[in-house]
């Protein structure tokens, strides 16, 4: 299980707003309550960037607080060419110390490769996403297949299963079997379970490989399970429920 720290300042319990850093206070409580239940935390940087320098400080405190044995994902969806991509990679891998960062591959090889040149780091490439708009481009015909299949196949040739993962939305479970034929060994980051309606059962049955191969993300369903002083306890209970279901598929 991966837990998404998509911390919205407008949704955290009101009693936290008196803290010097309300977003970090919220994240700290969630991490304390759940770190033994998950293998990764995913931080969607948009929720922090919009707060300016204070948001970046909250992000830094959060990433430094996460236990070192827990995998960290910067959900930043970066992707540009040349030195720009290199500096995006340095930002998240070196300055903030994330283990991975999500990458948009639309600009091609030279927008993805800079994220692959760091030891023990992962580029997590957008493959087939869970949003309704995924059909606008990702499901278009391309050659003998669909565009997302070509994207995954081509991107996989630039890296390895040891430095590249792919985002595949849980709402796209029907396509996972064909994706596994293209990338049988890569890990998949799977958002969309919970609030977005993705089925953990379906994605587990169709996407699991010999190494499990799935990082299933739950964000709002966990971190906003409660809204009062017991929010962290409620988040733990929600995470335990997801973990219990996962255990039945392992």
Cβ atoms < 10 Å from Cβ of 29: 19
pLDDT at 5 exceeding the cut of 70: yes
pLDDT at 170 over 90: no
pLDDT score at 194: 66
Q: Kindly list the distances between the CA atom of residue 114 and the CA atoms of 29, 121, 157, 214, in Å, as whole numbers in the listed order.
A: 35, 11, 15, 24
Residue 192 confidence (pLDDT): 79
Q: Is 77 a catalytic residue?
A: yes
**Mean pLDDT of all residues in 124-149:** 94
Which of 28, 77, 90, 206 is the catalytic position? 77
- Per-residue pLDDT tens for 88-97? 999 999 999 9
Let me know: does 37 contact 64? Beta carbons within 8 Å: no
pLDDT tens digits for range 186-243: 999 999 776 667 789 999 999 999 999 999 999 999 999 999 999 999 999 999 999 9
What percentage of residues in the chain have a pLDDT greater than 70? 99
Phi/psi for 51 (5° steps) reads -90, 5
Residue 130 has pLDDT above 90, yes or no: no
- Convert the chain into a string of H (helix), E (strand) and C (coil): CEEECCCCCCCCCHHHHHCCCHHHHHHHHHHHHHCCCCCEEEEECHHHHCCCHHHHHHHHHHHHHCCCCCEEEEEEEECCCHHHHHHHHHHHHHHCCCCEEEECCCCCHHHHHHHHCCCCCEEEEEEECCCCCHHHHCCCEECCEEHHHHHHHHHHCCCCCCCEEEEECHHHHHHHHHHHHHCCCCCEEECCECCCCECHHHHHHHHCECCECEEEEECHHHHCCCCCCCHHHHHHHHHHHHHHHHHHHC
Q: Pick the more confident residue, 111 or 197.
A: 111
Name the phi and psi angles at 213, rounded to 5: 75, 15
Rounded Cα gap, residues 213 and 1, in angstroms: 11
pLDDT of 195: 65
What average pLDDT does the chain have?
Answer: 95
The mean per-residue pLDDT over the stretch 127-143 comes to 92
- For 19-61, what is each residue's pLDDT tens digit? 999 999 999 999 999 999 999 999 999 999 999 999 999 999 9
Q: How confident is the model at residue 182 (pLDDT cuts 50, 70, 90)?
A: very high
pLDDT value at position 167?
A: 97
What is the arithmetic mean of pLDDT over 116-129?
A: 96
Q: What pLDDT score does 10 carry?
A: 96
Q: Position of tokens 């692959």? A: 116
Band the pLDDT of 131: cuts 50, 70, 90: confident
Contact 66, 37 (CB under 8 A): no
125 close to 165: Cβ distance less than 8 angstroms: yes
């Amino acid at each position: 299980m991966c837990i998404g720290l998509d911390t919205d300042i407008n949704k955290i319990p009101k009693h936290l707003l008196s803290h010097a850093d309300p977003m970090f206070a919220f994240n700290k409580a969630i991490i304390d309550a759940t770190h033994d239940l998950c293998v990764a935390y995913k931080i969607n940087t948009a929720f922090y960037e919009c707060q300016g320098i204070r948001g970046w400080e909250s992000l830094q405190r959060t990433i430094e607080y996460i236990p070192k044995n827990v995998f960290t994902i910067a959900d930043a969806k970066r992707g540009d060419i040349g030195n720009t991509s290199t500096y995006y990679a340095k930002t998240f891998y070196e300055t903030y110390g994330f283990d991975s960062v999500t990458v948009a591959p639309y600009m091609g090889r030279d927008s993805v490769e800079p994220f692959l040149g760091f030891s023990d780091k992962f580029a997590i490439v957008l493959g087939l996403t869970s949003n309704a708009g995924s059909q606008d481009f990702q499901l278009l015909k391309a050659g003998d297949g669909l565009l997302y299949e070509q994207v995954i196949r081509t991107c996989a040739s630039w890296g390895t299963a040891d430095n590249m993962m792919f985002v595949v939305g849980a709402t796209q479970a029907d396509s996972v079997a064909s994706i596994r034929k293209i990338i049988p060994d890569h890990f998949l980051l799977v958002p969309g379970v919970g609030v977005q309606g993705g089925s953990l059962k379906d994605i587990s049955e169709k996407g699991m490989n010999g190494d499990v191969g799935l990082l299933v993300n739950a964000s709002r369903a966990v971190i906003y399970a409660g809204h009062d002083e017991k929010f962290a306890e409620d988040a733990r209970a929600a995470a335990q429920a997801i973990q219990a279901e996962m255990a039945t598929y392992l």
